Amino acid sequence: MENSIFFNFYALFIVALGIIGLGLYAILSYRNLIKIFIGIEVMSKGIGLLFIAAGSANGRLALAQSYLITYIVIEAVVATVALSLIMLTYRHYGTLDIRKLSKLKG
Amino acid sequence: MVSVDYFPFWFFILPLALACVLPFLSRVSRQAVTVLSVSVFTLLAVMSWYLTTEFGRGVSAITTLWGIELRVDALSSLLMLTISVIGAIVCLYATSYMDHLGGKTKFYSLFLIMCAGMYSLVMASDLFSLYVCLEAAAVASYVLIAFSLKWDGIEAAFKYMILSAISTTMIVFASAVLFYLYGTLSFSGLSVALAGRGAQPTTLMLGGLLLCGFAFKAALVPFHAWLPDAHPSAPAPVSAMLSGVLIKVLGVYAIARVLFTVFHAPAQILSALTVLSAVSIVLGGLLGLKQTDFKRLLAYSSVAQVGYILGGLSLATPLGIIGGLFHLINHALSKSLLFLNAGAVEQATGTRDIDALGGLENRMKVTSTTSVVGSLTIAGIPPFSGFWSKLIIIIAAVQAENYWLAGAAILGSLLTLSMLLKVQSRVFLGKLKDTLKEVREVAVPMQAAMIILAVLCLTVGVWFYYFINTIIEPAAVVLLG
């Protein structure tokens, strides 16, 4: 698809970058494990958008969609492991504050 | 189906199938679990040795089955051989090590899934499947790190996961942009599209992003923060596999493949890699020196050794690449051995703190002897294999007039030696502490695993010329194009 008023790769690229930036900001600035995890999820949404935008811009949308679906599956697997780790952390430390997770250092 | 052409498919079908069957099998017989895992890895080791010698004669293959495309050449089969050999030995070791930790079947299943991910990573023929396999291996490794369900494992696994998520975002972001620009992600397609564009700012930026992403996995210095937490917190067989193989497959192999095959080794990125490697060698050694935790010290030494491997590769000269790849094999053997030693000491005495240990030499003969072999290999003392690879890297650095890297390599060698002498003197030599009077040598399978690795270290060191000729050189030729 050519760039048009309805579809512009560069605009979508900027939006995707913005979303990734927001996710990164959440990871770096929040102290709560769940919020950090949400940051990771937000970041991966930005990547998904970028894949679809790239696919429709260069006319290989089917390939891009298959990439995206695989990406979503992986993301779900990571989310499962991440949430179970967060749960275990809460069980051991009794808190979700990342600053308390500092027993390992040196 | 059992033709040689379909050999590569067995490498991920067998481990995955076994991983699915094991939970059911363990109800019938507990012994069968171990026997099957070890024999699958041994079979794969034999198959990959066959593939290695086959590709040594200049054969390389792309096989397609059910729409899955696998690309195998000498470099992939070299890595496949490493995974299989270390995998078999670690499985043997885990038979008795996991007895006291519990959950043996789950451990073997996860371990096989992680190895299947690594096998398919080295056979991936495009950037996206490389990412998928990387994530498969990485997710299994998060669970394996937290396997003991103690606080340190969980904390380390969570930190590793967060940093990993950021690094994979870099990788996938760069892939998506490459996909937009060139409409393909296959290595061959991208390699054609990027030919002659090596110096363009876009290419350099994307190559740099991919380098940063994979350098996270390889634990090069600015990105190494997760490794000294993650590797010591895992059970010993897992740390051996992580430090010995995982960081090399996910990090070093991916960097080599992407930079050399896809990006045609752009000079700017390579010199950045050289600087990072030199810093890794020195900083890893310095930070390791002050550690008192046995496994944490070894983890810092891994950071330094990855610096050697990537430093050799980043020179992009034939000698440098041969040295880097040879050091990859040597480090895989010796660091796995040392982590298995550390696990044996931890199991026998209940501590990893080297200040609380001492005089184990007579109590644990096999462990102490094999750990001397491992230490000498890593530190680079002839006739052990580490000496030759370090020597080749240093000569290559001098030939390339890269005196900083050569200096860092020599300094790093001294730091590694002093680090491991510290371990030897505090753990195995000296006076036996009163608290350690009851210590006994570990079970036979664990001893056997350590002895096999020590013998391998010595064999590769003595017949280094044969190994370089048969398995390393063909792989280096792949990278040089």
Q: Is B429 left (phi over 0), alpha (psi -120 to 50) or beta?
A: beta
Is the residue at A103 inside a domain?
A: no
Pairwise CA distance, residues B474 & B456, whole Å: 21
Pairwise CA distance, residues B284 & B143, whole Å: 26
User: What local confidence, expressed as pLDDT, does residue A44 receive?
Assistant: 93
Is the residue at A77 inside a domain?
A: yes
Is the residue at A106 inside a domain?
A: no
User: What local confidence, expressed as pLDDT, does residue B131 receive?
Assistant: 94
Pairwise CA distance, residues B356 & B6, whole Å: 52
User: What local confidence, expressed as pLDDT, does residue B2 receive?
Assistant: 47
Pairwise CA distance, residues B113 & B2, whole Å: 22
Residue A60 distance to chain B (closest CA, Å): 7
Is the residue at A38 inside a domain?
A: yes
- Sorting pLDDT into bands at 50, 70 and 90, what band is A18? very high
- With CA atoms as reference, the chain A residue closest to B293 would be A106
CATH number of A90's domain: 1.10.287.3510
Pairwise CA distance, residues B119 & B85, whole Å: 12
ipTM, 2 dp: 0.93
Q: Which of A72, A88, A91, A100 to mutate to test the interface with B (most CBs of B within 10 A)?
A: A88
Q: Which of B120, B130, B154, B184 to mutate to test the interface with A (most CBs of A within 10 A)?
A: B154
Is the residue at A4 inside a domain?
A: no
Q: Which residues of B have a CB under 8 Å from any CB of A? A: 128, 132, 135-136, 139, 142-143, 146, 149-152, 154-159, 161-162, 165-166, 169, 172-173, 176-177, 179-180, 183, 185, 228-229, 233, 290-291, 293, 296
User: What local confidence, expressed as pLDDT, does residue B442 receive?
Assistant: 84
Is the residue at A17 inside a domain?
A: yes
Q: Give how many domains chain A has, as a whole number.
A: 1
* DSSP-derived 3-state class of residue B150: coil
What residues of B are in contact with residue A76 (Cβ under 8 Å)? none
**Can you read off the two tokens belonging to residue B58?**
């200049």
pTM of the model: 0.93
Is the residue at A54 inside a domain?
A: yes
Is the residue at A104 inside a domain?
A: no
User: What local confidence, expressed as pLDDT, does residue B197 receive?
Assistant: 80
**Can you read off the two tokens belonging to residue A14?**
């900027």
Q: How far is CA B100 from CA B94, B258, B435, B451, in A?
A: 10, 42, 21, 22
What residues of A are in contact with residue B150 (Cβ under 8 Å)? 92
Angle, in degrees to the nearest 10, between helices B151-182 and B201-218: 160
Please indicate whether, in this complex, the C-beta atoms of B179 and A89 are within 8 angstroms of each other: no
Residue B462 distance to chain A (closest CA, Å): 37
State whether the Cα torsion A14-A51-B168-B263 is positive or negative: negative
Please indicate whether, in this complex, the C-beta atoms of B152 and A104 are within 8 angstroms of each other: yes
User: What local confidence, expressed as pLDDT, does residue B264 receive?
Assistant: 86
Q: Which amino acid is at B442?
A: V
Residue A87 distance to chain B (closest CA, Å): 10
Q: By residue range, what is the domain housing residue A29?
A: 9-98
User: What local confidence, expressed as pLDDT, does residue B10 receive?
Assistant: 84
Judge whether B245 and B332 are in contact, CB under 8 Å: yes
Q: Over the range B398-434, which residues count as b (16 or more CB within 10 Å of their CB) and which as e?
A: eebebeebbbbbeebbebbbebbebbbebbbeeeeee
The number of C-alpha atoms within 13 Å of B222 and in the hemisphere containing its C-beta is 9
Residue A11 distance to chain B (closest CA, Å): 14
Residue B202 distance to chain A (closest CA, Å): 15
- With CA atoms as reference, the chain B residue closest to A87 would be B154
Residue A99 distance to chain B (closest CA, Å): 11
- With CA atoms as reference, the chain A residue closest to B180 would be A54
Question: For B176, which of A23, A27, A47 is closest by C-beta distance?
Answer: A47
Please indicate whether, in this complex, the C-beta atoms of B161 and A9 are within 8 angstroms of each other: no
Please indicate whether, in this complex, the C-beta atoms of B143 and A93 are within 8 angstroms of each other: no
Question: For B165, which of A33, A40, A55 is closest by C-beta distance?
Answer: A40
pLDDT in tens, chain B (481 residues): 345 667 788 888 899 999 999 888 888 887 888 888 889 888 888 888 888 877 665 556 777 777 778 888 888 889 999 999 999 999 999 988 888 777 888 899 999 999 999 999 998 888 999 999 999 999 999 999 999 888 888 989 999 999 999 999 999 999 999 999 998 899 989 999 988 887 788 999 999 999 999 999 999 988 898 999 998 889 999 999 999 999 999 999 999 999 998 988 888 999 999 999 999 999 999 999 988 899 999 999 999 999 999 999 999 899 999 999 999 999 999 999 999 999 999 988 888 888 888 888 888 889 999 999 999 999 888 888 889 999 999 999 999 998 999 999 999 999 999 999 988 888 888 888 877 777 888 888 899 999 999 999 999 999 988 888 888 888 888 888 7
**More reliable by pLDDT, A105 or B471:** B471
* DSSP-derived 3-state class of residue B64: strand
Please indicate whether, in this complex, the C-beta atoms of B146 and A89 are within 8 angstroms of each other: no
